[in-house]
Structure 1
Amino acid sequence: MEKLAELKALVETAEKEGAAFYEKNNKAAGTRLRNALQEIKVIATDLRKDVTEKKNAAK
Protein backbone atom coordinates (compact mmCIF):
# COMPACT_ATOMS: atom_id res chain seq x y z
CA MET A 1 0.00 0.00 0.00
CA GLU A 2 3.00 2.28 0.48
CA LYS A 3 3.73 2.24 -3.25
CA LEU A 4 0.13 3.16 -4.03
CA ALA A 5 0.38 6.20 -1.77
CA GLU A 6 3.64 7.19 -3.43
CA LEU A 7 2.06 6.75 -6.85
CA LYS A 8 -0.90 8.92 -5.85
CA ALA A 9 1.42 11.68 -4.61
CA LEU A 10 3.38 11.59 -7.86
CA VAL A 11 0.20 11.84 -9.91
CA GLU A 12 -0.84 14.90 -7.91
CA THR A 13 2.59 16.45 -8.50
CA ALA A 14 2.39 15.67 -12.21
CA GLU A 15 -1.05 17.28 -12.38
CA LYS A 16 0.23 20.47 -10.76
CA GLU A 17 3.32 20.64 -12.98
CA GLY A 18 1.21 19.86 -16.06
CA ALA A 19 -1.07 22.76 -15.31
CA ALA A 20 1.90 25.10 -14.93
CA PHE A 21 3.43 23.85 -18.17
CA TYR A 22 0.33 23.90 -20.36
CA GLU A 23 -1.48 26.92 -18.92
CA LYS A 24 1.46 29.19 -18.09
CA ASN A 25 4.02 27.91 -20.63
CA ASN A 26 6.50 27.30 -17.79
CA LYS A 27 9.29 25.29 -19.43
CA ALA A 28 10.85 24.27 -16.10
CA ALA A 29 7.49 22.80 -15.08
CA GLY A 30 7.61 20.74 -18.28
CA THR A 31 10.91 19.22 -17.17
CA ARG A 32 9.52 18.48 -13.71
CA LEU A 33 6.42 16.97 -15.33
CA ARG A 34 8.53 14.64 -17.47
CA ASN A 35 10.53 13.58 -14.40
CA ALA A 36 7.35 12.89 -12.43
CA LEU A 37 5.93 10.85 -15.31
CA GLN A 38 9.12 8.78 -15.47
CA GLU A 39 8.94 8.12 -11.72
CA ILE A 40 5.27 7.12 -12.11
CA LYS A 41 6.27 4.64 -14.80
CA VAL A 42 9.00 3.09 -12.61
CA ILE A 43 6.76 2.77 -9.56
CA ALA A 44 3.87 1.39 -11.62
CA THR A 45 6.19 -1.24 -13.11
CA ASP A 46 7.47 -2.23 -9.65
CA LEU A 47 3.91 -2.40 -8.35
CA ARG A 48 2.87 -4.65 -11.26
CA LYS A 49 5.78 -6.98 -10.50
CA ASP A 50 4.81 -7.14 -6.82
CA VAL A 51 1.19 -7.93 -7.70
CA THR A 52 2.24 -10.67 -10.13
CA GLU A 53 4.62 -12.24 -7.60
CA LYS A 54 1.97 -12.23 -4.87
CA LYS A 55 -0.66 -13.65 -7.24
CA ASN A 56 1.65 -16.43 -8.41
CA ALA A 57 2.80 -17.23 -4.86
CA ALA A 58 -0.82 -17.99 -3.91
CA LYS A 59 -1.00 -20.84 -6.43
Structure 2
Amino acid sequence: MSQFSKVQDLVNSLEGDFEKFYDKGNQAAGTRVRKGMQELKNLAQEIRIDVQNIKNG
Protein backbone atom coordinates (compact mmCIF):
# COMPACT_ATOMS: atom_id res chain seq x y z
CA MET A 1 0.00 0.00 0.00
CA SER A 2 2.97 2.31 0.44
CA GLN A 3 3.42 2.31 -3.33
CA PHE A 4 -0.05 3.80 -3.69
CA SER A 5 0.98 6.58 -1.31
CA LYS A 6 4.00 7.24 -3.51
CA VAL A 7 1.70 7.59 -6.53
CA GLN A 8 -0.52 10.03 -4.66
CA ASP A 9 2.45 12.07 -3.44
CA LEU A 10 3.95 12.22 -6.93
CA VAL A 11 0.69 13.36 -8.53
CA ASN A 12 0.16 15.97 -5.82
CA SER A 13 3.71 17.27 -6.19
CA LEU A 14 3.16 17.81 -9.93
CA GLU A 15 -0.01 19.88 -9.53
CA GLY A 16 1.79 23.23 -9.41
CA ASP A 17 3.88 22.42 -12.47
CA PHE A 18 0.76 21.39 -14.41
CA GLU A 19 -0.81 24.76 -13.62
CA LYS A 20 2.34 26.66 -14.54
CA PHE A 21 2.67 24.82 -17.84
CA TYR A 22 -0.95 24.78 -19.02
CA ASP A 23 -2.11 28.13 -17.61
CA LYS A 24 1.03 30.23 -17.90
CA GLY A 25 2.96 28.46 -20.66
CA ASN A 26 6.06 27.91 -18.52
CA GLN A 27 8.26 25.57 -20.59
CA ALA A 28 10.47 24.53 -17.67
CA ALA A 29 7.37 23.39 -15.80
CA GLY A 30 6.47 21.28 -18.84
CA THR A 31 9.83 19.54 -18.61
CA ARG A 32 9.21 18.81 -14.92
CA VAL A 33 5.74 17.47 -15.76
CA ARG A 34 7.18 15.14 -18.40
CA LYS A 35 9.83 13.88 -15.98
CA GLY A 36 7.26 13.34 -13.25
CA MET A 37 4.93 11.50 -15.60
CA GLN A 38 7.78 9.19 -16.61
CA GLU A 39 8.41 8.45 -12.93
CA LEU A 40 4.68 7.80 -12.52
CA LYS A 41 4.74 5.38 -15.46
CA ASN A 42 7.67 3.48 -13.97
CA LEU A 43 6.04 3.34 -10.55
CA ALA A 44 2.79 2.11 -12.08
CA GLN A 45 4.68 -0.67 -13.88
CA GLU A 46 6.31 -1.74 -10.61
CA ILE A 47 2.89 -1.86 -8.95
CA ARG A 48 1.46 -3.91 -11.83
CA ILE A 49 4.26 -6.46 -11.51
CA ASP A 50 3.85 -6.64 -7.73
CA VAL A 51 0.09 -7.16 -8.01
CA GLN A 52 0.57 -9.87 -10.64
CA ASN A 53 3.12 -11.68 -8.46
CA ILE A 54 0.82 -11.60 -5.44
CA LYS A 55 -2.14 -12.72 -7.54
CA ASN A 56 -0.24 -15.68 -8.95
CA GLY A 57 1.05 -16.72 -5.56
| Structures share fold, TM-score greater than 0.5 | yes
Match for residue 52 of structure 2?
Answer: 52
* Over 4 Å off, 4+ runs: none
Identical-residue share of aligned pairs (%): 40
Distance in structure 2 (CA, Å) of the matches to 1:32 and 1:44 = 18
Q: What is the aligned length?
A: 57
Distance in structure 2 (CA, Å) of the matches to 1:51 and 1:4 = 12
User: Aligned Cα RMSD in Å?
Assistant: 0.8
Q: Show structure 2 runs of 5+ residues with no match.
A: none
Quote how far apart the aligned CAs of 1:15 are. Answer: 2.3
Equivalences for 1:21-40 in 2 at 5 Å? 21-40=21-40
TM-score using structure 1 length: 0.89
TM-score using structure 2 length: 0.92
Q: Show structure 1 runs of 5+ residues with no match.
A: none
